[in-house]
Amino acid sequence: MAKKRKLILIGNGMAGVNVLEQLLKISNAFDISVYGDEPYPNYNRIQLSYVLEGSKTLDDIILNSREWYEENGIELHVGSRIVRIDTDKKLVYTSAGDAAEYDALIIATGSKPFILPIPGAGKKGVIGFRDIADCQTMIEASRRVKQAAVIGGGLLGLEAAKGLTQLGMETTVVHLMDTLMERQLDETAGGMLKAELERQGIRFLMGKRTTEVLGGEEVAGIRFEDGTELDAQLLVMSAGIVPNIELAQSSGIETGRGIKVNDYMETSAPDVYAVGECCEHRNVCYGLVAPLFEQGAVLAKVLCGAQTAPYEGSSVSTKLKISGVDVFSAGEYTDRPEHRVLRVHDGWRGLYKKVLLRDKRFVGAVLYGDVTDAPLLARLIREGADMTEELYQELFGGGQSSAQGCCGGGKTSIVQGMPDDEIVCGCNGVTKGDIVRVIQEDGFTTVDEIKAKTGATRSCGGCKPLVEQLLQYVLGDGYQDKGGGKKQGICGCTTHTRDEIVVAIREKRLTSVREVMMVMEWEQAEGCSKCRPALNYYLGMIWPAEREDERESRFVNERLHANIQKDGTYSVIPRMYGGVTTPEQLRQIADAADKYNAKMVKVTGGQRIDLLGIEKKDLPAIWEELGMPSGYGYAKALRTVKTCVGSRFCRFGTQDSVGMGILLEKKFERLWMPAKFKMAVNGCPRNCAESGTKDLGIVGNDGGWEVYVGGNGGIRMKEAELLCKVKTDEELIELCGAFIQYYRETGNYAERTSDWLERLGLEQVKKAVVDDLELRKQLIERVELALAGLRDPWREVTENEKLQRQLYQAIEVTAE
């Protein structure tokens, strides 16, 4: 038996270990040793943000376990740094003084964060975001300090900001440019991304150049070129990366920006190769995973002596999931005079598609929200294909290809028309042919089986929809969509529908968000900003008395009991039952507005007073001083009950709208619902309180009350429909409770009553709430059970409640 050649890999990251994976598929001719600085086996750096936010552990992102190294005869040295290479004697030396021989050497030392060369950059609390140690530093910091700044609005910076926000930190992204991810996205897509991330609680300072880090030994803030400052006790530098070339430089290997390599990944030293972010090929250093794996595929064949085409560079396309949002960019992305621009922008659904042509030839594309067309567009741009009528219909609608809406399309033809050698999983270099082969030869029928065999979907997961389409294409009628259809899932993390989730929670007695995702096999184990709040709501609705609310699964507004504004401050809205207040409350509000520098004091459309411009750090104190319950102006719950003055004062009033409004508001406040919920009570049909555009509108008349439902005065205006008429106050209160509970139990999360009523139909709702007395009774019992378990952290029995009662008693005396 021939003696095995000694191969040493310096760097235990994704690029270097991928070379070994490719190598092991075609040869067993090497005795392999791996040296890595970190004390861990190979892990997925793409998913570091999930570790940071706490939705995944280190074990969850390990790509190759220690057992994998042992099974493949690889000697793994963790926490071991190579400090010198003797290229003449073919020896490497560790920091501990140990030496090892090699016949072939791969340098895959990756990159490090670019730390801005500004005064104070060396202070404690200034870090990068590249490894597990950085995550641990940030997690520890979040327990001590509350304000963080992230310099850099690229992918890593945004992911760091997402994780820090999830940890409860007030996080501001500082970006030099006016557009996020300006190297991948145009102004429109970057603006849509910024708006979504702001909704998730991240703050932004755009067009800002940082000139100094403030503080003593520890960071206390940063100063900008324009003289303004930002408080921060943690500063994450994410303004770019720098190839790790110091080892190569000190060992006499030629370097430029990176370690220089030729088309076969050879360095200037004999039998020494470089791959990944540390190397420079044809004056280009790549920072995305897919090009690094393309380099690795060539290098593996070179090491084995197998015939291979040279590596000639990569056509870079970016398909990423940033904080739950899919984006794709390839080729040129900025409009130029020579371009013909095809564009669709659907602000309602949060979708954007732009294709750039030059002389009918595809030269660039940007997708936001729906990236199903990404593989097709990447290929068309790579090949420089011409636009045709058929491709236009495929990409922009018409006929069956518009099934997904303006930015979707019929997708079977995409995989059908792909050549076998086209890359499906860019992260792991898996082609269409590889996937088709294992489906046909191994009888695979699930994505997980394909993942285990080929590695497709293993890294970023962005190719999963395309793998599913290939399954459907190859299996034809034999394909079974085990989730009931991805399009019907409550979000992109799962194929399960709302009804399937609710049934599973009840039947399997699931009681936490994490438990639901594990039992129901969530595709994205950490969930997203769409499904986590939805699951939290469904769990609370089903088990109102048996579980604690999971605040970490709520939006930032709900966690802080205030609405975040565009400048990063908050609006505070105390509750005023039925729009009624007292002089004492007004004095308290005025004093709080002065003390906490409210930028505006505004009367809302819901007959309350809004204090705008309050800093996050002041929220607990201002609520304590107000001594009033929150008006839930941020919540998927009862917002307001708007009232007219009714029969107590109005000469036209026939019913006591103020009294009924206060009673209903006090009864149903704090009850979580699928979406925001507004009510109004009118004392007569003149409709001064605008009951006709509310989720639940009540109109008084001489014979009792009329009940209207499903109104909406927002973007999609809808007039409320008459549900029924009742004669007594008691029946009205019961009917309101039954209606609210039926909506809670059958509404999709984030579905307003206008859409819900349109989906179910008025007759079904009327039958359940009005006609079926037994079902109505059950609904009332369940809503009373939910109400009995409510607790408001801002409201116990306060002096203000007594003042409310005194006020109403005064109204009664005056009216009499």
Q: Could you list the residues known to form a binding site for [4Fe-4S] cluster, using ranges.
A: 644, 650, 684, 688
The type of residue at 755 is D
Query: Is residue 233 within 8 Å of residue 217, measured between CB atoms?
Result: no
User: Which ranges of 253-310 would DSSP assign to H, the alpha helix?
Assistant: 289-304
Place of tokens 């509404």: 747
Name the CA radius of gyration of the chain, rounded: 31
CA dihedral in degrees (291, 265, 430, 391; nearest 10)? 50
Q: What is the DSSP letter of 177?
A: S
Nearest to 414 by CA among 382, 380, 369, 464: 380
Nearest to 455 by CA among 479, 486, 424: 424
DSSP labels, 23-78: HHHH---EEEEEEESSSS--B-GGGHHHHHHTSS-TGGGBSS-HHHHHHTT-EEEE
Identify the sign of the CA torsion 309, 313, 315, 321. Answer: positive
| Calpha distance 179→171 (Å, rounded) | 18
Give the C-alpha distances (Å, rounded to integers) separating 642 from 578, 655, 658: 6, 15, 9
Contacts of 22 (CB under 8 A, 6+ apart): 296, 297, 299, 300, 301, 429
| Calpha distance 579→386 (Å, rounded) | 63
Binding residues for siroheme: 688
The SS3 of residue 402 is helix
Query: Is residue 689 within 8 Å of residue 680, measured between CB atoms?
Result: yes
Query: Is residue 17 within 8 Å of residue 9, measured between CB atoms?
Result: yes
DSSP-derived pairing of the beta strands 104-107 and 5-10: parallel
| Calpha distance 186→206 (Å, rounded) | 15
Query: Is residue 47 within 8 Å of residue 14, measured between CB atoms?
Result: no
Q: How many helices (H) and strands (E) does the chain have?
A: 26, 36
The tokens for 741 are 């509970």
Query: Is residue 210 within 8 Å of residue 80, measured between CB atoms?
Result: no
Q: What is the DSSP letter of 545?
A: T
The tokens for 135 are 């995550």
| Calpha distance 418→48 (Å, rounded) | 32
The SS3 of residue 710 is coil
Binding residues: 644, 650, 684, 688
Identify the sign of the CA torsion 686, 689, 695, 698. Answer: negative
Query: Is residue 181 within 8 Å of residue 154, measured between CB atoms?
Result: yes
Nearest to 744 by CA among 705, 787, 706: 787
Phi, psi of 192 (to 5 degrees): -65, -40
Contacts of 599 (CB under 8 A, 6+ apart): 569, 612, 613
H-helix or E-strand spanning residue 111:
strand 111-113
Count the Cβ atoms, other than its own, within 10 Å of residue 604: 17
Contacts of 592 (CB under 8 A, 6+ apart): 572, 598, 611, 622, 625, 626
Give the C-alpha distances (Å, rounded to integers) separating 521 from 324, 414, 496, 656: 18, 28, 10, 52
Query: Is residue 157 within 8 Å of residue 151, measured between CB atoms?
Result: yes
Query: Is residue 753 within 8 Å of residue 695, measured between CB atoms?
Result: yes
